[in-house]
Amino acid sequence: MIHAQPAADATRLLAGLLEARTGQQIAPSRYWRIQTALAPLLKSEGIPDLDALVAVIMDPENEKLLKESLEAMLNNESFFFRDTAMFASLRSDTLPVLRERRKARRTLRIWCAGTSTGQEAYSMAILLDSDRASWEGWKLEIVGTDISASMLARARAGRYSQFEIQRGLSVDHMLRYFRQDGEDWVIDPRLQKMVQFREDNLLKPRGDLGRFDLILCRNVLMYFGPETRHIAYSKLVKALEDDGLLMLGAAETVLGHTDLFCPTREMRGVYGKALPVRG
Ligand SMILES: C[S@@+](CC[C@H](N)C(=O)[O-])C[C@H]1O[C@@H](n2cnc3c(N)ncnc32)[C@H](O)[C@@H]1O
């Protein structure tokens, strides 16, 4: 019981650091996750407990360990074609609308913000490649960003376990776009070339990624508090072409969270700019 208070202080402090740096909130009822998420790091660093970890990462010299600790606390859940109905509507509605809007310049730029281990960006690449004939002669660009360097390293490698490959991917897509290597499955280099991965914090972008025709920001902002969500929406609206489209996760909406975007009448879960924003 004597140690209960310091550990509680350590978890609260770690949750506060996570929110300040990434926007992600952890509710006090879920603070137990912090201990679980950090256990492997404590073990590999030979640090006895969370109090000791906090003491180490408060030293500015240990910024790398602080970053690794926060990355370990992030929710990185992702899988191929997550929320199949949304990918079906991308294929049947959203992409045809964008193809019509961009037919004069024949370029399409897509940003997967909070891409995690890459399944979302590769699902997008598969979707475009499966309909290659319609995109003949187009310049297609998919950019996947995430705050977590370790998740991005996995995304770039395009290597997935048997469990990961079976989550959401049809057997046909698995055999067409991946090759088995031992226990893992590795993405086809042709598909890998369609996607660029970059480290980027939605709240504090490192550089200008340019403007996009379609932004997928799915299952990221749902963990943000109102203030950081507002900052993130203002970054997304600036990065979107005036007639571009934003897709959120299946359980997310802009309604009640921002007035920078408004629902499109014909595409479920897809939003357009409420007003063109410059600058
Ligand atoms: C739950 S995953 C969602 C992955 C994918 N979009 C999907 O729906 O399958 C959320 C991702 O957002 C990333 N993330 C959290 N805060 C972020 C921030 N401030 N900037 C960029 N990425 C962030 C996390 O690292 C994590 O990989």
The yes-or-no verdict on residue 157 having pLDDT over 80 is yes
- Number of Cβ atoms within 10 Å of the Cβ of 43: 9
Mutate to test the pocket of ligand 1, among 70, 116, 123 (most ligand atoms within 8 A of CB): 116
Q: What pLDDT, in 10s, does the model give residues 54-89? A: 999 999 999 999 999 999 999 999 999 999 999 999
Q: Which long-range contacts (CB under 8 A, 24 or more apart) does 87-94 make?
A: 87/123, 87/127, 89/267, 89/268, 89/269, 89/270, 90/124, 90/127, 90/247, 91/127, 91/131, 93/266, 93/267, 93/270, 94/214, 94/245, 94/247, 94/267, 94/270
Alpha carbon of 104 to ligand 1 centroid (Å): 33
Ligand 1 pocket, 74 CB below 6 A? yes
Ligand 1 pocket, 228 CB below 6 A? no
Cα distances (Å, whole numbers) of residue 102 to 97, 105, 165, 171: 9, 6, 33, 32
Banded model confidence at residue 245, pLDDT cuts 50, 70, 90: very high
In angstroms, the CA 88 to CA 94 distance is 9
Ligand 1 pocket, 196 CB below 6 A? no
Indicate which atom in ligand 1 lies nearest the CA of residue 200: 21
DSSP type of residue 99: H
CB 147 within 8 A of CB 199: yes
Cα distances (Å, whole numbers) of residue 185 to 32, 156, 179, 188: 33, 13, 5, 10
CB 242 within 8 A of CB 229: no
The pLDDT assigned to 3 comes to 45
Question: Coil, strand, or helix at residue 172?
Answer: helix
Question: Coil, strand, or helix at residue 109?
Answer: strand
Indicate which atom in ligand 1 lies nearest the CA of residue 119: 9
Question: Coil, strand, or helix at residue 182?
Answer: coil
CB 153 within 8 A of CB 198: no
Ligand 1 pocket, 154 CB below 6 A? no
Nearest CA residue ID for atom 11, ligand 1? 114
Ligand 1 pocket, 168 CB below 6 A? no
Ligand 1 pocket, 220 CB below 6 A? yes
The pLDDT assigned to 59 comes to 92
CB 68 within 8 A of CB 156: no
Alpha carbon of 264 to ligand 1 centroid (Å): 24
CB 222 within 8 A of CB 233: no
Q: What pLDDT, in 10s, does the model give residues 132-153? A: 999 999 999 999 999 999 999 9
Whole-number percent of the chain with pLDDT over 70: 96
Residues 6+ apart with CB under 8 A from 127: 87, 90, 91, 95
- What radius of gyration, in Å, describes the C-alpha atoms of the chain? 20
Alpha carbon of 45 to ligand 1 centroid (Å): 25
Banded model confidence at residue 4, pLDDT cuts 50, 70, 90: very low
Ligand 1 pocket, 75 CB below 6 A? yes
The yes-or-no verdict on residue 167 having pLDDT over 60 is yes
Ligand 1 pocket, 144 CB below 6 A? no
The yes-or-no verdict on residue 176 having pLDDT over 90 is yes
Alpha carbon of 233 to ligand 1 centroid (Å): 14
Question: Where in the chain does DSSP place strands (E)?
Answer: 107-113, 139-146, 159-160, 178-181, 184-187, 195-199, 212-217, 240-248, 261-263, 270-273
In angstroms, the CA 136 to CA 158 distance is 25
The yes-or-no verdict on residue 46 having pLDDT over 80 is yes
Indicate which atom in ligand 1 lies nearest the CA of residue 23: 19
Q: What pLDDT, in 10s, does the model give residues 187-240? A: 999 999 999 999 999 999 888 899 999 999 999 999 999 999 999 999 999 999
CB 36 within 8 A of CB 56: no
The yes-or-no verdict on residue 2 having pLDDT over 60 is no
Banded model confidence at residue 277, pLDDT cuts 50, 70, 90: low
What's this model's pTM, rounded to 2 decimal places? Answer: 0.94
CATH 3.40.50.150 residue ranges of the chain are: 84-273
Average pLDDT over residues 121-140: 97
The pLDDT assigned to 5 comes to 55
Banded model confidence at residue 276, pLDDT cuts 50, 70, 90: low
Question: Coil, strand, or helix at residue 105?
Answer: coil
CATH number belonging to domain 84-273: 3.40.50.150
Give me the chain's average pLDDT, please: 93
The yes-or-no verdict on residue 261 having pLDDT over 60 is yes
DSSP type of residue 59: S
In angstroms, the CA 69 to CA 85 distance is 35
Nearest CA residue ID for atom 7, ligand 1? 78
